[in-house]
Structure 1
Amino acid sequence: MCDTAGGISEVVESMPRPAHGTAVDPIALEPVDQVEIVTLVDNVFDALLAGDERVRRTAFGATGIVEAPQFENGMTAAGLVAEHGFSALVRVVRNGRTTTLLFDTGMSPEAMVTNAERLGIGFDDLHSVVLSHGHFDHAGGLAGLAARTRSLPMVVHPYAWTRRRLMVPGDERELPTLSRKALDGEGYEVIERREPSLLLDGSVLITGEVDRTTGFERGMPPAHQAWNGTDWAHDPLVIDDQALVVNLRGQGLVVLTGCGHAGAINIVRHAQRLTGVDRLHALVGGLHLGGPAFEPVIRPTVNALTDLSPALLVPGHCSGWRAQHALAAALPDAWVQGSSGTTYRLTA
């Protein structure tokens, strides 16, 4: 997906549109007292990572015992599933009340629910589901979730149903396409929104479409294509990409991304414009900086994030190792290695 760079026509097609000044319709995002983000699925699981006062890790032995006949007692410790996907449980505390959301569901039907079970997390109190976009590595776990929960509201962008394919030489394939009919049949109450959405009495913002305002975050390379009804065409923007935003009282914005196809800096600036809150407290999730097509974006992204100076930075999923190293070097006090089963607790 990220192995080739575009030419002049692709660059022009993916250039950002201007969005200067304050938002036309600003969002009054109510401050919250605490945000807890539990990474249910990420690309890695490392049981040897250390935690601190805001980061709780899942260690060996903390996720139960499973059968393993090759050992003398027939048992072994269970780990957590890591796959090329992302899913996070978000708990928001406001005025003494805790509400839980699910942001993305990973790639495979069982990874997210398996990890949740091993972590002792149930879905009975789940308020709703939010999809960052329609790519299969963020929506694959919906089937596993549906088998274990009641009917749930689900917020998606209407372009999440877009047919897409990758045209990398030697590896040309159509991606799994999310089905609105199937989700309706599984009991999800699908809510399609292109515009920003406020959830939980105005304390959680779903950005909707993100304004593309930077000069360097140009989107996907020509290999990423979408069906427009008559033909396949380059799909640089992945316009259904959206993020989850919370305003932590006295600290600033907490921004959670899926893949960050809109660009990490575009997303943060969009959230700042919508809410009028300038301070970025935390950025967690995929930043899509892996692969040759995106490596030129790493340096300006690092520079912009350094200026934003978040207290917590957790690049996950598709961020890529080169970006991880660059961000860790530039923001050593904020950067934290992501891993399946990690909990980030941020308090006002």
Structure 2
Amino acid sequence: MIVTALVDNSRLENRPDLGVERGLSLHISTMGKQLLFDAGSGQTFCDNAARLGIRIQDVDAVAISHRHHDHCNGVSHFIERNTSASIYFRDCESQDYRFKAFGFSSNVGIDKGLLGKNNSQLNLIQDTTAILPNVFLITNINQKYPQPKGNQYLYTESENGCQHDSFDHELMMVVKEEDGLIVFTGCAHNGVLNMVDTAVTLFPDTRIKAVVGGFHLVGLPVFNSIGGSKEDIREIGKQLLSYPIDKLYTGHCTGMKAFGLLKEVLGDKLEHLPTGRRVDV
């Protein structure tokens, strides 16, 4: 498998030509197929793909991890360039998604017009779904561990009122290759440990070659603070070591402060995945 970061919060130092945004989009080449996991918030991932020699029109399927704008609003630009790939969201009630802290509130949700276009490429799933051979989108995520503390600032608003986001709109992706699994987390609002535990439960005694994506260990993004204490972050690293994981590639909502704390525990198992980086898993 080849994974290329089309969009992340940062970029490779030697690629100033690539755009960055606070968002995530990963291109995946595996078993003769091309996947897109998340689409950022705009067309930056498309522009970067062209500069990286990746043809958006050749993508076979798209998985959207959750309904925050920095992962899904770029879909509108994808469907302008690719009219055949199936695009998958987790099904959930229609609601608004908001960030709230210290009296400040902002909309962080999907452009509702995107789902209202009645595009035949869009698919809403409720249960675990194989979107291609050995490519699984998983909606029922174990809750063995606490969710990230940074979730405390994230809410939903609907006709039922305003409440903390339960992240019933989030999914994870697992690709099963001959020599092991690759787990894609998006933002891991349900918790990276819960996602890893889910993969281990569904595919017992199977090596996890890599965990890829954001871990949402940031607290307040504008300050790049950590969600919880330093010891909380280190403990997550220690728990990750208890699972059969070869490598972890992360960026985006993990936050660089939390990345540094995880690195203390995970060492060479953990690597940064900025815009433009391509890894062979």
> Could you state the TM-score of these two structures normalised by the residue count of structure 2?
0.89
Unmatched runs of 5 consecutive residues or more in structure 2: 220-224
Which structure has the bigger radius of gyration? 1
Task: Give deviations 1:160-194, integer Å, cap 9, x for gaps.
Answer: 84311122124212334332x53463845222112
Counterpart residue number, 1:231: 161
Counterpart residue number, 1:210: 141
Distance 1:110 1:161 in 2: 24
Counterpart residue number, 1:261: 189
Q: Equivalent of 1:241, from 170, 186, 193?
A: 170
- Does the CA contact (< 8 Å) of 1:102 and 1:129 recur in 2? yes
Distance 1:130 1:333 in 2: 29
Distance 1:150 1:211 in 2: 34
Classify 1:128/1:240 alpha carbon distance in 2 versus 1 (closer, same or farther; 3 Å): same
What are the within-5 Å matches in structure 2 for residues 120-199 of structure 1? 120-159=53-92, 161-179=94-112, 182-183=114-115, 185=117, 187-199=119-131
Distance 1:194 1:219 in 2: 26
- Does the CA contact (< 8 Å) of 2:148 and 2:189 recur in 1? no
Counterpart residue number, 1:30: none
Counterpart residue number, 2:24: 86
Q: What is the DSSP-based 3-state SS (H/G/I as helix, E as strand, rest coil) of the residue aligned with 1:331?
A: helix
In the TM superposition, residue 142 of structure 1 has moved relative to its aligned partner by 1.2
In the TM superposition, residue 287 of structure 1 has moved relative to its aligned partner by 0.3
- Does the CA contact (< 8 Å) of 1:42 and 1:317 recur in 2? yes
**Amino acid aligned to 2:76:** A
In the TM superposition, residue 101 of structure 1 has moved relative to its aligned partner by 1.0
What are the within-5 Å matches in structure 2 for residues 1-348 of structure 1? 35-47=1-13, 59-60=14-15, 79-93=17-31, 98-107=32-41, 109-159=42-92, 161-179=94-112, 182-183=114-115, 185=117, 187-201=119-133, 203-214=134-145, 216-217=146-147, 221-235=151-165, 237-250=166-179, 252-291=180-219, 294-296=227-229, 297-308=232-243, 310-346=245-281
**Amino acid aligned to 1:227:** E
- Does the CA contact (< 8 Å) of 1:315 and 1:337 recur in 2? yes
- Does the CA contact (< 8 Å) of 1:209 and 1:239 recur in 2? no
Q: What is the DSSP-based 3-state SS (H/G/I as helix, E as strand, rest coil) of the residue aligned with 2:65?
A: coil
Classify 1:178/1:329 alpha carbon distance in 2 versus 1 (closer, same or farther; 3 Å): same
> Could you state the TM-score of these two structures normalised by the residue count of structure 1?
0.73
Q: What is the DSSP-based 3-state SS (H/G/I as helix, E as strand, rest coil) of the residue aligned with 1:239?
A: coil
Q: What is the DSSP-based 3-state SS (H/G/I as helix, E as strand, rest coil) of the residue aligned with 2:60?
A: strand
In the TM superposition, residue 340 of structure 1 has moved relative to its aligned partner by 0.4
Structural RMSD (CA)? 2.1
Percent identity, aligned pairs only? 26
**Amino acid aligned to 2:64:** L
Distance 2:132 2:155 in 1: 35
- Does the CA contact (< 8 Å) of 1:184 and 1:190 recur in 2? no
In the TM superposition, residue 278 of structure 1 has moved relative to its aligned partner by 4.1
Q: What is the DSSP-based 3-state SS (H/G/I as helix, E as strand, rest coil) of the residue aligned with 2:12?
A: coil
- Does the CA contact (< 8 Å) of 1:134 and 1:159 recur in 2? no
- Does the CA contact (< 8 Å) of 2:208 and 2:245 recur in 1? yes
Unmatched runs of 5 consecutive residues or more in structure 1: 1-34, 48-58, 61-77
**Amino acid aligned to 2:196:** V
- Does the CA contact (< 8 Å) of 1:161 and 1:177 recur in 2? no
Distance 2:87 2:177 in 1: 24
Distance 2:82 2:19 in 1: 21
Highest RCO, 1 vs 2 (Cα 8 Å, sep ≥ 6): 1
- Does the CA contact (< 8 Å) of 2:185 and 2:213 recur in 1? yes
**Amino acid aligned to 1:260:** A
Classify 1:337/1:303 alpha carbon distance in 2 versus 1 (closer, same or farther; 3 Å): same
Counterpart residue number, 1:52: none
